[in-house]
Amino acid sequence: MAENFVESITNMEDDFAQWYTDIVKKAELVDYTGIKGCMVIRPAGYAIWENIQKELDRRFKETGVENCYLPMFIPESLLNKEKDHVEGFAPEVAWVTQGGGETLQERMCVRPTSETLFCDFYSHIVHSYRDLPKVYNQWCSVVRWEKTTRPFLRSMEFLWQEGHTIHATAEEAQARTEQMLNVYADFCEEFLAIPMVRGRKTDKEKFAGAEATYTIEALMHDGKALQSGTSHNFGDGFARAFGIQYTDKENKLVYAHQTSWGMTTRMIGAIIMVHGDNSGLVLPPRVAPTQAMIIPIQQKKEGVLDAAYALRDRLAKTIRVKVDDTDKTPGFKFAEQEMRGIPVRIEIGPKDLANNQAVLVRRDTREKLFVSLDEIETKLAELLDTIQSDMLERARAHRDAHTYEATTMDEMKDIADNKPGFIKAMWCGDRACEDAIKEQAGVTSRCMPFKQEHLSDTCVCCGKPAKTLVYWGKAY
């Protein structure tokens, strides 16, 4: 029975896309709906998002961020105020043209993002340098009319947070832009055990209406990149479009500077694709809704269930723990716990009780440890920390082993065709070369990393003097 439970997950080496779909369905993270491209996030999936949200929110607030909420509808006239922005989002916008049986005088879009709404809001409340900065964030959903969807990675409606800040100076805005990118990267590495490449997007790849876009890029198990969080510096472009001016200390009227930054439910997809294996999910302990599952062995024997419940009550003071007291066989429970990615399995049966011990089994390595019940709190806490650290190191080792260097287009094409992963190569900064690399090698620029290296003096594409090292790759 336990074997059948796991057989329905396709081997990732055979079909990575199907493996991913099998996991999100079998682990009951999502379900499909009658609305194409939209998903139900089931409790098991939403619990992961709640932990992401809670930890990110805590980190945001440590930097002075305050939460607010703005409407989900944007009048067309408001959206049209920033030309580049509206052109960038036009293909993905869902429009509302009728309300209560009446045709609207002005159609409204369902927010694809909220820059224009925040600009309108700021134009009403920012008048003096004393009103600045405003460092706001909202947790909400947005709608983008995607043609191709995949659970968590790309859907028509998705959950996210979007931070929107407004500052007196360009320097303050730039500092906040970089600060929030680093908040994202540190969160992913420390909480999700996913290492990130931090850098700036090329002008071709930057956010519509932004002066500069910064990104964190992760490498999935199949060698594809995933843009995991972005932070945008808008300069004073939006402020000029929306007339957001304030009186400075010299009593002069000047334009404000703005930023925005966001992270979405696609991070659940990243967790699956970085850490998962052919038995299912592998959740890092810090984000796992259930960090340990107690499985009673021979639970009908006297004292076993009582001991399991007593152990749960002890451990629940410091970790997220449950007891699987269903009437399924232990083998089935083991397979189910593995498939759901619970970091530690705790086995306790008559023999264990006689020896005053429990068996701890790691989900990531399947290593077994026999631990005295007298010190189980300490040993389990240490084990969870070790698993978290080991998962990050394994993910970093995988990324580094699948990061390659190319100094010619022939090398670039060969790597792109035969070695999935990041490709580091020098670039002259010309958009024509960026387009040619995509056309010839099938890879896009992921970012210009903050940590620059010098691989050669010439551009990988045209041979002219190189300006920047770029990470390239195929991406979700």
Determine the pLDDT at residue 269: 98
3-state secondary structure of 302: coil
Short-list 73, 63, 80, CA closest to 112: 73
Residue 173 to residue 235: CA distance in whole angstroms: 7
**What's the 3-state SS for 224-268?**
CEEEEEEEEEEECHHHHHHCCEEECCCCCEEECEEEEEEEECHHH
Degrees to nearest 5, angle at CA 439 with 434 and 440:
100
Structural domains in the chain plus CATH codes = 8-275 (3.30.930.10), 292-382 (3.40.50.800), 404-473 (3.30.110.30)
Q: Is-above-0.75 flag for pTM?
A: yes
Tokens of 267: 């991070």
Determine the pLDDT at residue 149: 87
Determine the pLDDT at residue 2: 41
Determine the pLDDT at residue 338: 96
Q: What is the largest CA-CA distance in the chain?
A: 81
Consecutive 10-residue averages of pLDDT for the chain (476 residues)? 60 96 96 92 98 98 98 94 77 93 96 95 98 98 90 95 98 98 98 98 94 98 98 97 96 98 98 97 98 96 96 98 96 95 98 97 98 98 98 98 98 98 98 98 98 97 97 97
Determine the pLDDT at residue 7: 57
Determine the pLDDT at residue 340: 97
**What's the 3-state SS for 5-65?**
HHHCCCCCCCCHHHHHHHHHHHCCCEEECCCCCCEEECHHHHHHHHHHHHHHHHHHHHCCC
Determine the pLDDT at residue 436: 98
3-state secondary structure of 185: helix
* CA 339 distance to own-chain centroid: 21
